[in-house]
């Protein structure tokens, strides 16, 4: 009798979890197509490429994060998403918005997350919950719900890294992994540092030194070509191989005071680490208090819905609490050590960036290392099964994340 009751409860939990998961997915799809989002730079840049121009031919919603050179506006960030959009834009012109690409990225991310969890030994339902958690109960939920250029870059980099991880668990062709990571470099350079994980893998094994060097060469060659192309592009457009123009971003419509952080703390400096560490890992949600003046100033009494998020968002572990399980990861697994070292390399780089990012609910730059944190997470459950509490945490976290996302919508629209 007791077993039957427990079985029934588990089935009810799965049913309710399935309903919530479907609801969150529907909300994401709704957000893709319901709102007229700004930040369609890649669509407009693809249109410019089709005209043989590397600069914008018309205003892409706003000039934010653009660089003006010789009275022409350029996009200084990774170009690959625009290249990928050239064919659909050629067919649909600017009627093909980035939300369509974002939706495809969401399904690819969920599918790859599921496959990687299955390869890690998890049952189907648990793999589905983990994949759902990766997409909606982590910082990735912003890429799953905000189809602007910045989140297109984050989301697409994650897709390519997950694809590389999937390849490493199946055919393990290092030339394919090299191409995938070269693509990541052309989207987000800091995410491209994830190649460290695969360098460990290429060198691992009982093969001789020559075979190891061959695998490393297959992995590295596409990345070298990618870097060379990137340097040539910088030299032609910005006059220097080692400048992508970002130091002058927004300089045409913001004054020096408004660019304070970039001018005084950018681009990558060690002194930025304490500030970013606080916002990445410590910052909590902001309280919503009654608008009443009391003896000590504004009252501390909360009012519904009690908490919100404000610039520059909340801690990684507020929007991704399931990743706290990483603290009990099996350190005897070599892939865990590789993932930890890789994550530290990427994290050390983004912590030196001049600001923590905005508009966001949590630290969006953490998506650069999220796939490797996922590798660690999968080795944090000894029985390769998620406890009911963990499944509930993932579902509740996804709901809370979308609440926070709604609170920042005015800043996005």
Residue 1: the pLDDT is 55
How far apart are the C-alpha atoms of 27 and 274, rounded to whole Å?
Answer: 36
Assign 250 a pLDDT band (cuts: 50, 70, 90): confident
Residue pair 300/315 in contact (Cβ under 8 Å)? The answer is no
- Mean pLDDT lowest among 34-48, 204-218, 310-324, 361-375: 34-48
- Does 17 score more than 70 pLDDT? no
**How many other CB atoms sit within 10 Å of the CB of residue 304?**
6
Residue pair 158/369 in contact (Cβ under 8 Å)? The answer is no
Residue 48: the pLDDT is 94
Residue pair 13/35 in contact (Cβ under 8 Å)? The answer is no
Residue 252: the pLDDT is 83
- Does 333 score more than 60 pLDDT? yes
Q: pTM above the 0.85 mark?
A: yes
Residue 27: the pLDDT is 56
* Domain range summary for the chain, segments of one domain joined by +: 2-412
- Does 406 score more than 50 pLDDT? yes
Digit-coded pLDDT (tens) for 152-174: 999 999 999 999 999 999 999 99
**How many other CB atoms sit within 10 Å of the CB of residue 20?**
18
The DSSP bridge partners found for residue 298 are 293
How far apart are the C-alpha atoms of 315 and 312, rounded to whole Å?
Answer: 10
What Rg do the C-alpha atoms of the chain give, in angstroms?
A: 22
Assign 360 a pLDDT band (cuts: 50, 70, 90): very high
Q: What is the mean pLDDT of the chain?
A: 89
CA 23 from chain centre, in angstroms, equals 22
Residue bearing the bigger pLDDT, 243 or 88: 88
Residue 35: the pLDDT is 46
Average pLDDT, integer, range 113-124 = 96
* Interacting residues of 28 by C-beta distance below 8 A, sequence separation 6+: 106, 136, 144, 145
How far apart are the C-alpha atoms of 346 and 366, rounded to whole Å?
Answer: 9
Residue 249: the pLDDT is 87
Distances (CA, A) of 386 to 116, 380, 396: 15, 10, 15
Helices (H) and strands (E) in the chain, counts: 17, 6
Residue 242: the pLDDT is 83
């Amino acid at each position: 009798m007791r077993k039957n009751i427990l079985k029934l409860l588990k089935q009810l939990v799965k049913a309710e979890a399935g309903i919530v998961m479907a609801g969150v997915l529907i909300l994401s799809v709704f957000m893709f197509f319901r709102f007229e989002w700004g930040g369609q730079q890649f669509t407009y840049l693809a249109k410019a490429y089709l005209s043989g121009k590397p600069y914008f031919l018309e205003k892409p919603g706003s000039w934010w994060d653009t660089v003006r050179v010789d009275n022409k506006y350029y996009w200084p960030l990774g170009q690959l998403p625009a290249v990928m959009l050239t064919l659909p834009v050629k067919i649909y012109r600017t009627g093909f918005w980035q939300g369509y690409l974002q939706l495809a990225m969401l399904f690819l991310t969920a599918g790859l997350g599921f496959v990687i969890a299955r390869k890690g030994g998890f049952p189907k339902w648990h793999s589905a919950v983990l994949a759902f958690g990766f997409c909606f109960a982590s910082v990735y939920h912003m890429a799953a719900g905000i189809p602007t250029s910045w989140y297109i870059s984050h989301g697409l980099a994650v897709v390519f890294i997950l694809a590389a991880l999937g390849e490493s668990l199946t055919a393990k062709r290092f030339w394919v992994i090299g191409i995938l990571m070269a693509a990541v470099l052309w989207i987000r350079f800091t995410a491209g540092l994830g190649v460290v994980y695969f360098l460990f893998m290429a060198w691992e094994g009982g093969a001789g030194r020559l075979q190891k060097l061959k695998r490393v060469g297959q992995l590295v060659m596409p990345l070298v070509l990618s870097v060379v192309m990137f340097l040539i592009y910088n030299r032609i457009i910005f006059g220097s191989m080692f400048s992508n123009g970002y130091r002058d971003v927004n300089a045409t419509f913001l004054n020096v005071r408004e660019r304070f952080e970039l001018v005084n703390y950018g681009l990558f400096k060690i002194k930025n680490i304490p500030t970013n560490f606080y916002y990445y890992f410590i910052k909590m949600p902001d309280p919503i208090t009654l608008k009443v003046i009391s003896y000590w100033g504004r009252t501390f009494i909360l009012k519904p819905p009690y908490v919100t998020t404000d610039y520059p968002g909340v801690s990684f572990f507020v929007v991704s609490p399931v990743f706290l399980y990483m603290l009990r990861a099996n350190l005897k697994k070599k892939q865990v050590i590789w993932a930890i070292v890789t994550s530290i390399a990427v994290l050390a780089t983004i912590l030196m960036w001049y600001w923590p990012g905005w508009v966001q609910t949590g630290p969006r730059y953490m998506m650069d290392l999220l796939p490797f944190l996922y590798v660690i997470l999968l080795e944090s459950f000894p029985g390769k099964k998620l406890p009911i509490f963990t499944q509930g945490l993932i579902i509740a976290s996804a709901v809370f994340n979308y609440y926070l996302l709604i609170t920042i919508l005015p800043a996005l629209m």
